[in-house]
C-alpha cells in the first residue's frame, strides 16, 4: 500500500472536551490585576465584558472542560480537521525529517479562529446577551466572530484596524455577509477612537486601539459583551481541540513528534496545538521540543519585557503579566496582520518563563519564501501568519538534512491566504522588505509600561 498522506478522524472520534494546561504546570501563572487597586481581579470586575461561563473558564483549575453539544454541532461543519504529512515538501527539501501539518484552513472562514468564536457566541447567547463587540486586525477574527454570531442569532459589531480595513475589502464583505457591522478603527464612535484621531487624524490604527474601542462599547451598552480572539486563557482552552485531534491522528500515523512549531500573535493557535502535547511531555510520555515563532518586526517573546501591562492602548483592560513590547507599541505594517499584537498570552508567557518552550523571531522575507515553497509543493497557500512557522519547520528540516536525523516535525497550518493574496503579490513583485525593530524604538515604548 502507498504511504499515507492524510490522517482523518471520524466525526465520532472528535474530542468532546477541551484541555486546561494550568493544573499540570509546576507553578500557576500570575493573576491579572485591577489597574486601580493593583489587586488580583475577581469575577465581578470582568462581568461587564464577559458572560459568567467564560469568566469561570478563564480561572478554572479543572483539567478538562466538556464541550457543549450545541458547540460540537457547529464544530462538525468542518471538524475534525485533517492532519497531513508534507511528503512533497520533504522531497523538495531532500530532508530525512518527517513533516506533518494540522490544517485549520478548512473552517468556514479559513482559519482556526472559529474554534473559540463559536463557544464564545454560544455562552453569551445562553446568558441572554444579544450583541457582541470585537476588534479585528487582519480580519480573520472578525470573520470568525461574525460567522459564530450568525449561528447563534447575535448581533456583531467589529472595529477593524484602519490599515487592514482599507487594504482588505474582502474580509469586510465576508463579515457583512455573515450579518456583522464593521467600523474602521480608530473611529469617531468611541472616546478612545476620538482621542487617537485628535492626536493623529491619519492614524492607521492598531489592534490595541481597536480593542479599546470594542471594550468601551461593550462596557457601556445594554446586553452587550466583548469577545477576544486570542491571548486569554479561555481562548487557548477552546483551541486545544486542535492538539487533542492531532494526538489521535498521530496514533493513526504511528508516529510521535520530536519538534512542534507554531506561529504566535497572541498565542492561541500555538497553545491550542501545543498544550495537549505539553501535557504528554510533562507526564513523561513523549519529549517534543516546543517552539514559538514570531515576526522580527513584533518580537514579543524574544525581545519584549515580562511585566504587567494593559491589553489595549487606552488602558481599559486589567493588567496582564505577559511578554510585552509596551501597550503603545505600533508594529510596522507587516503582512502577517494577525501577529501584530504588542503582548503575548499570559499563559504562553508563563510557560516560556518556566523554560518549557523555546521562541525565535523570523523576518517576513524568509517567511514568504517558505510560504511560496510550501504552496508549490503541498498546494495550499498559507496565510502570512503560519508562514512564520513554516519557515522554522524548513530550517529544522534542513538541519536534519545536514545531520541525517530523522526528526518528526509538527506544525499548525492555522489558515490559508485566499483573502491575503495581495501580500503574495507584493512578495512576487519584490516589494517585501524586512522591518528591523531598532532598540531605541523598543526602549521608548517599554518606558510607557504602567
Ligand X SMILES: *Cc1c(COP(=O)(O)O)cnc(C)c1O
Residues 150-189, mask of contacts with ligand X (x by CB under 6 A): ----------------------------------------
Residue whose CB is less far from ligand X, 184 or 265: 265
Strands 17-19 and 98-103: unpaired
Residue whose CB is less far from ligand X, 159 or 270: 270
Contacts of 102 by beta carbon, 8 Å cutoff, 6+ apart: 81, 82, 83, 84, 242, 245, 246, 249, 273, 410, 411, 412, 413
Residues 205-244, mask of contacts with ligand X (x by CB under 6 A): -------------------------x--------------
- Count CB-CB contacts under 10 A for residue 313: 26
How far apart are the C-alpha atoms of 98 and 85, rounded to whole Å? Answer: 7
Which one of 57, 140, 164, 206 is in contact with ligand X (CB under 6 A)?
140
Nearest distance, CB of residue 115 and ligand X, angstroms: 10
Size of the site for ligand X (CB under 6 A): 20
Q: Does 420 bind ligand X (CB under 6 A)?
A: no
Nearest distance, CB of residue 284 and ligand X, angstroms: 28
Which one of 167, 249, 268, 349 is in contact with ligand X (CB under 6 A)?
268
From the list 5-13, 66-74, 258-266, 424-432, the region that binds ligand X by CB under 6 A is 258-266
Strands 155-161 and 131-136: parallel
Q: Does 266 bind ligand X (CB under 6 A)?
A: yes
Q: Where are the beta strands (DSSP E) in 22-173?
A: 64-66, 83-85, 98-103, 131-136, 155-161
The number of helices, as runs of H, and strands, as runs of E, in the chain is 19, 15
Which one of 98, 102, 113, 291 is in contact with ligand X (CB under 6 A)?
113
Q: Does 380 bind ligand X (CB under 6 A)?
A: no
From the list 148-156, 273-281, 321-329, 379-387, the region that binds ligand X by CB under 6 A is 379-387
How far apart are the C-alpha atoms of 135 and 227, rounded to whole Å? Answer: 8
Secondary structure of the chain: what % helix, strand, coil (to 5)? 45, 20, 40
Q: Does 263 bind ligand X (CB under 6 A)?
A: yes
Q: Do 351 and 358 touch, CB atoms closer than 8 A?
A: no
Q: Of 368, 435, 414, 396, whose CA–CA distance to 263 is shortest?
A: 414
Cα angle 246-252-256, degrees, rounded to a multiple of 5:
60
From the list 91-99, 200-208, 257-265, 282-290, the region that binds ligand X by CB under 6 A is 257-265
Which one of 359, 385, 427, 437 is in contact with ligand X (CB under 6 A)?
385
Residue entry with cell 498559507: 382
Which one of 81, 95, 111, 212 is in contact with ligand X (CB under 6 A)?
111
For residue 116, the Cα-to-chain-centroid distance in whole angstroms is 10
Q: Does 269 bind ligand X (CB under 6 A)?
A: yes
Residue whose CB is less far from ligand X, 126 or 356: 356
Q: Do 138 and 171 touch, CB atoms closer than 8 A?
A: yes
Q: Does 383 bind ligand X (CB under 6 A)?
A: yes
Q: Does 265 bind ligand X (CB under 6 A)?
A: yes
Q: Does 114 bind ligand X (CB under 6 A)?
A: no
How far apart are the C-alpha atoms of 228 and 399, rounded to whole Å? Answer: 38
Q: Does 264 bind ligand X (CB under 6 A)?
A: yes
Which one of 276, 338, 346, 363 is in contact with ligand X (CB under 6 A)?
338
How far apart are the C-alpha atoms of 302 and 296, rounded to whole Å? Answer: 9
Nearest distance, CB of residue 140 and ligand X, angstroms: 3
Which one of 33, 71, 322, 414 is in contact with ligand X (CB under 6 A)?
414
Q: Does 346 bind ligand X (CB under 6 A)?
A: no
At 95, give phi and psi (nearest 5°): -100, 145
* Cell triple for 297: 518586526
From the list 218-226, 281-289, 382-390, 438-446, the region that binds ligand X by CB under 6 A is 382-390
Could you list the residues that contact ligand X (CB under 6 A)?
111, 113, 140-141, 230, 263-270, 338-339, 383, 385-386, 414-415
Amino acid at each position: 500500500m502507498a504511504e499515507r498522506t492524510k490522517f482523518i478522524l471520524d466525526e465520532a472520534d472528535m474530542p468532546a472536551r477541551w484541555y486546561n494546561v494550568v493544573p499540570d504546570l509546576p507553578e500557576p501563572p500570575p493573576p491579572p490585576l485591577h489597574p486601580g487597586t493593583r489587586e488580583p481581579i475577581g469575577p465581578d470586575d470582568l462581568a461587564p465584558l464577559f458572560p459568567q461561563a467564560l469568566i469561570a473558564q478563564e480561572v478554572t483549575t479543572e483539567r478538562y472542560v466538556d464541550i457543549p453539544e450545541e458547540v460540537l454541532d457547529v464544530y462538525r461543519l468542518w471538524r475534525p480537521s485533517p492532519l497531513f504529512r508534507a511528503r512533497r515538501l520533504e522531497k523538495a527539501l531532500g530532508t530525512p525529517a518527517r513533516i506533518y501539518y494540522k490544517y485549520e484552513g478548512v473552517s468556514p472562514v479559513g482559519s482556526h479562529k472559529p474554534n473559540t468564536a463559536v463557544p464564545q457566541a454560544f455562552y453569551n447567547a445562553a446568558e441572554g446577551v444579544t450583541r457582541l463587540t470585537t476588534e479585528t486586525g487582519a480580519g480573520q477574527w472578525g470573520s470568525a466572530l461574525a460567522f459564530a454570531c450568525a449561528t447563534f442569532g447575535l448581533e456583531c459589531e467589529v472595529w477593524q484596524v484602519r490599515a487592514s480595513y482599507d487594504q482588505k475589502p474582502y474580509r469586510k464583505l465576508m463579515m457583512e455577509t455573515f450579518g456583522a457591522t464593521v467600523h474602521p478603527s480608530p473611529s469617531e464612535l468611541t472616546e478612545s477612537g476620538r482621542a487617537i484621531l485628535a492626536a493623529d487624524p491619519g492614524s492607521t490604527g492598531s489592534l490595541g486601539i481597536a480593542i479599546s474601542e470594542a471594550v468601551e462599547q461593550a462596557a457601556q451598552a445594554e446586553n452587550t459583551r466583548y469577545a477576544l480572539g486570542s491571548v486569554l486563557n479561555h481562548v487557548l482552552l477552546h483551541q486545544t481541540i486542535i492538539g487533542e485531534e492531532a494526538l489521535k491522528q498521530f496514533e493513526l500515523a504511528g508516529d510521535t513528534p520530536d519538534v512542534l512549531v507554531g506561529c504566535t500573535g497572541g498565542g492561541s493557535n500555538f497553545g491550542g496545538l501545543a498544550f495537549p502535547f505539553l501535557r504528554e511531555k510533562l507526564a513523561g510520555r513523549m519529549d517534543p521540543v516546543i517552539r514559538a515563532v514570531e515576526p522580527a518586526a513584533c518580537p514579543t517573546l524574544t525581545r519584549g519585557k515580562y511585566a504587567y501591562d494593559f491589553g489595549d492602548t487606552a488602558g481599559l483592560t486589567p493588567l496582564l503579566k505577559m511578554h510585552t513590547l509596551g501597550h503603545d507599541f505600533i508594529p510596522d505594517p507587516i503582512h502577517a496582520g494577525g501577529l501584530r499584537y504588542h503582548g503575548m498570552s499570559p499563559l504562553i508567557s508563563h510557560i516560556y518563563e518556566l523554560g518549557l518552550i523555546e521562541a525565535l523571531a523570523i523576518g517576513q522575507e524568509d517567511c514568504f519564501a517558505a510560504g511560496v515553497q510550501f504552496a508549490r509543493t503541498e498546494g495550499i497557500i498559507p496565510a502570512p501568519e503560519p508562514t512564520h512557522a513554516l519557515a522554522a519547520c524548513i530550517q529544522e528540516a534542513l538541519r536534519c538534512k545536514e545531520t541525517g536525523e530523522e526528526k518528526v516535525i509538527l506544525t499548525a497550518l492555522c489558515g490559508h491566504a485566499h483573502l491575503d493574496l495581495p501580500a503574495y503579490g507584493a512578495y512576487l513583485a519584490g516589494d517585501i522588505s524586512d522591518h528591523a525593530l531598532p532598540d531605541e524604538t523598543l526602549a521608548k515604548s517599554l518606558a510607557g509600561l504602567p
